[in-house]
Structure 1
Amino acid sequence: MLTEVTAVRYATPLREGGSLPGLVEAVDGRGTYAPYVMKFTGAGQGRKTLVAEVICGQLARGLGLRVPGLAQIWLDPVLGLGEPDQQVQQLLKSSGGVNLGMEYLSGALGFDPLAYDVGPAAAGRVVWFDALINNVDRSWRNPNMLMTGGDLWLIDHGASMIWHHNWRTAETAAAKPYDASDHALAPFGPDIATAAAELAPLVTQELLAAAAADVPDAWLVDEPGFDDPDAVRRAYVTALLARAETIHERIQLPQSPTGQQRKGATK
Structure 2
Amino acid sequence: MTPLEIRKVTVTRYITPLREGGSLPALADADDGFKYVVKFRGAGHGVKALIAELLGSEIARKLGLKIPEIVYAELDEAFGRTEGDEEIQDLLRASQGLNIGMHFLSGAINFDPVAVEVDEELASRIVWLDAFITNIDRTFRNTNMLHWHKEVWLIDNGASFYFHHSWNNWEKQARTPFAYIKDHVLLSQAGMLDEVDSAFRKQLTDDALRTIVDLIPEEWLEWEYVDQTPQQIRDVYFNFLTTRLANSGIFVNEAKHAREAVI
Q: Same fold (TM over 0.5)?
A: yes
Per-residue CA shift, 1:160-192, capped at 9, x if unaligned?
Answer: 111112232210012211222210101324421
Partner of 2:66: 66
Match of 2:54 in 1: 54
**Which residue is 2:109 aligned to?**
109
Q: Secondary structure at the match of 2:16?
A: strand
Alignment partner of 1:25 out of 17, 26, 29: 29
Indicate whether 1:7 and 2:8 are aligned: no
- 1:94 is aligned to 94
C-alpha contact (below 8 Å) 2:81/2:89 kept by paired residues:
yes
Q: What whole-Å deviation, never above 9, does each CA across 1:74-95 have from its counterpart, x for those lacking one?
A: 1024221111222111111111
- For 1:100-179, what aligned pairs fall within 5 Å after superposition? 100-179=100-179
Q: Do the aligned residues in 2 keep the contact of 1:77 with 1:94 (CA within 8 Å)?
A: no
In structure 1, how many angstroms separate the alpha carbons of the residues matched to 2:82 and 2:156?
Answer: 28
2:258 aligned residue (217, 236, 253): 253
> How does the TM-score come out when normalised to structure 1?
0.90
Q: CA deviation at 1:220?
A: 0.5
In 1: Cα distance, 2:207 partner to 2:40 partner: 28
Counterpart CA distance in 1 for 2:92 and 2:104 is 19
Q: Does 1:41 align with 2:45?
A: no
Unaligned runs of 5+ in 2: none
RMSD: 1.6
Which stretch shifts more, 36-45 or 240-249? 240-249
Counterpart CA distance in 2 for 1:122 and 1:174 is 24
Percent identity of the aligned residues?
Answer: 39
Structure 2 SS opposite 1:80: coil
SS in 2 for 1:181: helix
Counterpart contact for 2:146–2:155, Cα < 8 Å: yes
CA shift in 2, pair 1:61/1:223, >3 Å:
farther
Unaligned runs of 5+ in 1: 259-267
| 3-state DSSP of counterpart to 1:98 | strand
Determine the C-alpha separation between the residues in 1 that align with 2:227 and 2:125: 33
Describe the superposition over 1:182-211 as per-residue Cα deviations: whole angstroms up to 9, x where unpaired. Answer: 101013244211110111111121111111
Instruction: Determine the structure 2 residue equivalent to 1:261.
Output: none
Give CA-to-partner distance per residue, 1:31-64, whole Å, 9 cap, x none. x311111100110221100011111111111111
* Counterpart residue number, 2:82: 82
Write the letter of the residue equivalent to 1:255: E
Equivalent pair of 2:22/2:43 in contact (CA under 8 Å): no
Contact 1:212–1:237 (8 Å) recurs in 2: yes
2-structure distance, mates of 1:249, 1:122: 18
Q: Does the CA-based 8 Å contact 2:127-2:190 persist in structure 1?
A: no
CA distance in 2, matches of 1:246, 1:152: 28
Moved over 4 A (4+): 223-226
Return the alpha-carbon distance in structure 2 between the equivalents of residues 238 and 189 of structure 1: 27
Alignment partner of 2:83: what SS?
Answer: coil
- Aligned amino acid, residue 19 of structure 1: S
